[in-house]
Amino acid sequence: MPEKPLPFVITDRRKFNPDGEARPDADPSPAREPRPETVAAPAPVAEMPAPVEAAPEPEPIAIEAGADGAPETDLPPAPTAEQMEQSRVAYEATAERLDIAVRAANPGMEHPPAMTFEQLVQSIYMQAILQLGGGTQQGQQPQVDILGARQSIDMLGVLDDKTKGNLSASEQALLSSALFEIRLAFLEITQALARSAQQRAAQGPPPPAPGGPRIVR
């Protein structure tokens, strides 16, 4: 037999009527508490990097001018007069012992003469002459160190500038003559080198060897 459909039962679970009064037939079961809605946790906020402090600007270096108007550099302090005297005495004692040892190994050798201003000027003068090709033996190609000669001549020029008023008449005459002669020699050598370069440029490159170029293995 076909089953009879069960009747629908409608239960009114309202606890209050439209006037707001409690209904006597209301369901005495406690009201369910509303389920809290799940709130998504906020995404972590990335930490802002700490602000980068600007590097402090370097302080300008104070350069004081010396008595002559030239800027002073950070040089070590000059030795005292006592230190200078101690170093002089120690140097002279050591040099004397060296001279004694050299003369003992070379009997008959005389004591070397003491250095003088004249010897200093002559030493720099002869060095410049050799750098300009002087002293070359006959038949040999002169070896010229034009830049080295210029430095030697400039050294004599520095001596001339820094010793004005402190030299005797003979010392000043020697220094002036050495400077005059070596400067003229420098001009002659530089002019000769310039003429030689012009001649080579005018002649052009050398002709090739007969038979064309050859490869040497």
Map out the domains of the chain as residue ranges: 116-135+143-202
Phi, psi of 214 (to 5 degrees): -125, 145
Res. 212 pLDDT band, cuts 50 70 90: very low
Average pLDDT of the segment spanning 137-149: 87
For residue range 89-122, what is the model confidence (pLDDT) as tens digits? Answer: 999 999 989 988 988 888 888 877 788 999 999 9
Structural tokens at position 92: 């002279």
For residue range 144-155, what is the model confidence (pLDDT) as tens digits? Answer: 899 999 999 999
Residues 62-94 as b or e (16 or more Cβ within 10 Å = b):
eeeeeeeeeeeeeeeeeeeeeeeeeeeeeeeee
For residue range 35-72, what is the model confidence (pLDDT) as tens digits? Answer: 545 444 544 444 544 554 554 555 554 555 555 555 55
What DSSP line would sit under 32-78, residue for residue? PPPPPPPPPPPPPPPPPPPPPPPPPPPPPPP--B-TTSPBPP-PPPP
Residue 199 is predicted with a pLDDT of 85
Residue 80 is predicted with a pLDDT of 94
Average pLDDT of the segment spanning 26-38: 52
For residue range 167-210, what is the model confidence (pLDDT) as tens digits? Answer: 999 999 999 999 999 999 999 999 988 888 888 888 876 666 56
